[in-house]
Amino acid sequence: MWHVKNTARLSPAAILEAVLNYGDWRDVKTLFKIVGVKKAAGIFRKQVKSHRHNYRPEIANYFKLYFQKHA
């Protein structure tokens, strides 16, 4: 994802998806500080409602539970 030439054009949803799928916990915490846990949860929930999302199954399951408790 970070090899995209114009990173300013990346959507918040694309950034969230990449960080949750491929980032470490420090990356996730930094993202939550920037966009907020509630906003991240809203974006995530909208993405996973669709049957065609790019989250790995274990990541989708973990963050469903995480956001259920923290957002």
Sign of the dihedral defined by the CA atoms of residues 47, 62, 64, 39, in that order? negative
pLDDT of residue 7: 77
The confidence score (pLDDT) of residue 51 equals 78
Q: List the structure tokens of 69.
A: 């408790």
Amino acid of residue 34: I
Global pTM reads: 0.86
pLDDT along the chain (71 residues), means of 10: 74 93 96 97 95 91 97 90
| Angle between helix 57-70 and helix 12-22 axes, rounded to 10 deg | 110
- Give the distance from CA 6 to its chain's centroid: 19
